[in-house]
Structure 1
Amino acid sequence: MKADIVIENISQLVTMEGPDRPRIKEEMKNIGLIENGIVAIAGDKIIFVGEGKIPSYIEIGKETIIIDGAGKTVTPGLVDPHTHLVHGGSRENELAMKLNGMKYLDILKAGGGILSTVKATQNASFEELYKKAEKSLNTMLEFGITTVEAKSGYGLNTETELKQLRVAKELNEKHPVDIVSTFMGAHAVPKEYKDNPEKFVEIIINDMIPKVAEERLAEFCDVFCEEGVFTVDQTRRILNAAREHGMLPKVHADEIEPLGGAELAAEVEAVSADHLVAASEAGMKMMAEKGVIADLLPATSFNLASGKFADARKMIELGVPVALSTDYNPGSSPTENLQLAMYFASLILRMTPEEVFTAVTINSACSLRKEKAIGSIRKGKKADIIIFDSPNINYIIYHFGINHVDMVVKNGKIVVEKGRKKGAF
C-alpha cells in the first residue's frame, strides 16, 4: 500500500488507543502515548500507527509527503461537541451590563441575551449567516477543530430554525470541518409567548420537530432546561417527541440553578448533558449509571464571571465520562478557541493534560456518536490529525493564550500549514 502522507520522528504521538467508547475515571489518563512515533496516511484513512520506522509493506513514492515530527506533538483532530455556530449579530454591548453587575438571566429578562441574537438571526439572510459561520469555522480549523457540533436555537420560529440548520448543512457539504447539527428550538421562550410558554412548547413539538425531521437537518435535539426557560417536564416532552422523529436527546442542564437537569438527562438516556455547573451529586451518579457524557464548558463559566464552575473532579471520580467544548456563541462564550477552554479545564477544573486531551478527542467524538470514525489515531479511522508545535502535551496547556497548531490534516489533506489555512475551500 502506498502512503500519501507520512509523519515521522514524532516527539509525542497521542493515539487515544483503546475501545471506541467514552473513557471514564483512570481511563481518561491513558492517552496511548508513543514517543518517536510515526503515522502513515493513504487517501482519507490512517494506514499505520507505530514507533520507529515505517514498515516495509508500506510504499513510499516520489509524491509521498514526508513530515518531520521532531519536537512536535501529534493528536487526533479536536472535536468541539457544543457550539452555536450559526447566528446573526453580536452582543458586545452586553459587556458594560455585565461590568455593572447584571446577571445572565437578568439580561435575558430585559430583552437582551438570546432574544437579542434571535432578532438579528431572524433578520439575517441565508448568505449572511453562511459567511459569518464560515469565518468562524475557518478560525476553529486553525485552532485544530476538525469536527464541530452546531445548534440552531436563535430562530425561535420554524422558518428561522430551518434556515439555521440549512446553513449548517451546506457548510458541512462545502467546508473541510465536519458539522454535526442539533435542533434547539427550545433555547428560549419568545417574547410573544412569555405569558403562555406552553403554546410555544406545542409549536416546537407539533410544527418544528416534524419539519426538521422531514428534511433530515439534525441528528440531535437539545433543550435549555433552566429556571425561567424550560421546565423539566417541558424538556422531557420535547426530547421524547424529538426521539420519536429520530433525533437523539441532549440537555442544557443545570447551568445556573440546580433544576434537576442532570437527573432528567439520565432518565431520558441523553447522549450528553451540557454545562452542569449547578448539577447535584445525585444527578451526577445517575448520569454515571446511564453513561451520559458530561460536556463541560469552562470558557462560558469564565466569561459569565460568576465564580462557579462545573465539578469536573467529582464527575470523573464518580465515573461520569467528561467531554469539553467552547460553547461558541455570541453571548456567554464568544470564542472559537478550544485550546483556551482546554486551559481553563486544566487550571480551574483541575483536569490533568491527559484528561483534557481525552475530553476533546475520543469523549467528544462519543458525545456526537462519531467515535467509530474519529477521536483516536488508529488504522482504518479517518485521517483527522493535528500537529502541534509543541514537544509535549503539557506545554500545550502550560503555555496558554496562543495557538499551538502547526498543521492540520483533515480527511487526509493538509488544510492548515504553519498555523494558517491553505487557500480557499
Structure 2
Amino acid sequence: MTAFDRVWLDAHLCTMTGDGLGVIEDGAIAAKDGRIAWVGRRADLPSAALVTTRCGGAWVLPGLVDCHTHIVFAGNRAPEFEMRLNGASYEEIAKAGGGILSTVRATRDATEHELVAAALPRLHALLAEGVTTIEVKSGYGLDLATEARMLRVARRLGAARHVAVATTCLAAHAVPPEYAGRRADFARVVADEIIPAIAAEGLADAVDVFTDTAIGFTADETSWVFEAARQAGLPVKLHADQLRDDGGAALAARHGALSADHIEYAGAEGIAAMARAGTVGVLLPGAFYFIRETHRPDIAAMRAAGLRMALATDLNPGSSPALSLLLMLNMGCTLFRLTVAEALRGITVNAAAALGMADRGVLAPGLRCDLSLFDVSRPAELCYWIGRNPCRGRVVAGEDA
C-alpha cells in the first residue's frame, strides 16, 4: 500500500483530462512530495494518508494559471481614462503626457521596493481567486536597467507569496522616447544588448514582442529579437494581431512560439498555422472590453483548426486594469462565445501550455499538486457569476497557500 502525505476527500473534481472538464464526482486526490500521487473516485482510493482534508463538497480544479499579465508597473492611467470619457483623442492624451510612455516614466523612476509594494495588492487579488501560477512581463522600462529591475521584482513576488511566477522579457513593447523615430535601432538594442544581459542574469523564462506595423515592431525586427532569444535558450511569445491582421499568428507559428496573444484579427490561415505549430492562442477579453474593440477573435476558425485556447487577464495599466481572472471567464463566454469547458480549460491546462509548463494544469498523477477549491454547485457557476469569488482555498505543490 502506498503511503500518501495528504488526501483531499468529499470533493468533485475537474481534472481537465481528455478534451473536456474530466469530471469526477465524489472524487479524491492524494499527494506525495508536492506532486499528485493518485486521483480518482473516493471509493477507489487505495490508501490512507498522514493528513486528510475534507472539502465539504467543493469543486476542485487544477490551480488556476494567469498566463499573460503586466502586473509590475508604477502609477496608473486613470487620469487618461477620464480624459477619454470626456472626449479627448489619443493624440491629445499623448501630448498631455499620457499613454504607455507615462507608465514608462513612472516605472523608471520607481525603486525596486516601490514596485514590489505596488504589485503585491494586485497579486493578492488574483491569488484570492485561486491563481497558483502567474506570468509577469516586463516592458515598462524599455532600457536594460529598468527591464532588469521589473524582472527582479517579479522574481521577488514569487518568493514573497505562495505562487509560481514565470517571467517574460518584453523589452520590445514600445519605442522609448530616446529612440523616437528610430524603431529599428531600438529593436537592435533589445536583440544585441538587453536580451543577452537579461538571460545572463537568469531573470527571464521567455521573451515576448509586441508586433504591429503601426505602433509596434515589424516582422523583421521581431525576428531579430527572437533570434537573440533562441541564442540565449529562451522560448518566445508574441503580442499578435490585436488591432489588425499583421500576419502575427503565422509569424508566431514560424518561430515555434509558445503562444500568440490577443489575436482578435488573426485570419483562418494564421490560426491553422498556430495549431500545426503547437502555439497556444491566448485570448484577452479584458483588453477587448476596455478599449471597446468590436472585432471578435475568430473562435469558429480556432475550433476548426483544433487550436488550444487560453484566457488571461492581461492585467496592465493602459488597456486592461483587470484584477480578476474569474471575470475573464465570464467575459470569454459572453464576449467571445466560449463554452464553459473552453473557458475553464483556458485558465488551467491551456494556460499552462502557453507558458510551456507541462507539469501543471491537469489533475493527474506525477504533476504538481496545485489545486484551487471552489464553493459552487457546478463548474459553470465559475463562468456565470459576475463579481462573486467562491474560492475557498489554494494548494501549491501540495501545501495550503
Report the TM-score, using the length of structure 2 for normalisation. Answer: 0.94
Aligned residue for 1:393, secondary structure, equals: coil
Is 1:47 matched with 2:37? Answer: yes
Hey, what's the Cα distance between the residues in 1 that align with 2:7 and 2:121? Answer: 30
Q: Which consecutive unaligned segments of at least 5 residues does structure 1 have?
A: 19-26, 416-425
Contact 2:188-2:224 at 8 Å conserved across structures: no
Aligned residue for 2:30, secondary structure, equals: strand
Is 1:301 matched with 2:263? Answer: no
Hey, what's the Cα distance between the residues in 2 that align with 1:109 and 1:354? Answer: 45
| 1:321 corresponds to which of 292, 298, 308 | 308
Hey, what's the Cα distance between the residues in 2 that align with 1:414 and 1:110? Answer: 47
Letter in 2 for 1:7: W
- Shift of the 234–329 alpha-carbon distance from structure 1 to 2, 3 Å rule, reads same
Contact 1:104-1:304 at 8 Å conserved across structures: no
Aligned residue for 1:9, secondary structure, equals: strand
Aligned residue for 2:237, secondary structure, equals: strand
Q: Which residue of 1 aligns with 2:279?
A: 292
> Post-superposition shift, 1:289?
2.1
> Post-superposition shift, 1:378?
1.2
- Shift of the 101–124 alpha-carbon distance from structure 1 to 2, 3 Å rule, reads same
| 2:337 corresponds to which of 350, 354, 358 | 350
Hey, what's the Cα distance between the residues in 2 that align with 1:107 and 1:313? Answer: 37
Q: Which residue of 2 aligns with 1:5?
A: 6
Is 1:272 matched with 2:259? Answer: yes
Report the TM-score, using the length of structure 1 for normalisation. Answer: 0.89
Aligned residue for 1:6, secondary structure, equals: strand
Letter in 2 for 1:55: L
> Post-superposition shift, 1:101?
4.8
Letter in 1 for 2:290: N
> Post-superposition shift, 1:308?
2.9
> Post-superposition shift, 1:104?
6.3
Hey, what's the Cα distance between the residues in 2 that align with 1:106 and 1:365? Answer: 40
Is 1:127 matched with 2:113? Answer: yes
Letter in 1 for 2:204: A
Q: Which residue of 1 aligns with 2:227?
A: 240
- Shift of the 104–34 alpha-carbon distance from structure 1 to 2, 3 Å rule, reads farther
Q: Which residue of 2 aligns with 1:422?
A: none
Contact 2:158-2:165 at 8 Å conserved across structures: yes
Q: Which residue of 2 aligns with 1:14?
A: 14
| 2:48 corresponds to which of 56, 59, 84 | 59
Per-residue deviation, residues 247-276 of structure 1 (Å, max 9, x unmatched): 111110011122211121112121110001
Letter in 2 for 1:16: M
Hey, what's the Cα distance between the residues in 2 that align with 1:105 and 1:289? Answer: 40
The residue correspondences of 1:10-409 to structure 2 (distance < 5 A) are 10=11, 12-18=12-18, 27=19, 30-53=20-43, 55-56=45-46, 58-61=47-50, 64-70=51-57, 72-101=58-87, 107=93, 111-226=97-212, 227-371=214-358, 373-409=359-395
Q: Which consecutive unaligned segments of at least 5 residues does structure 2 have?
A: none
**In angstroms, what is the RMSD of aligned CA positions?**
1.8
> Post-superposition shift, 1:48?
1.8
Letter in 2 for 1:75: L
Contact 1:388-1:407 at 8 Å conserved across structures: yes
Letter in 2 for 1:9: D
Letter in 1 for 2:196: P
Letter in 2 for 1:31: L
Hey, what's the Cα distance between the residues in 2 that align with 1:229 and 1:46? Answer: 42
Contact 2:371-2:396 at 8 Å conserved across structures: yes
Letter in 1 for 2:210: F
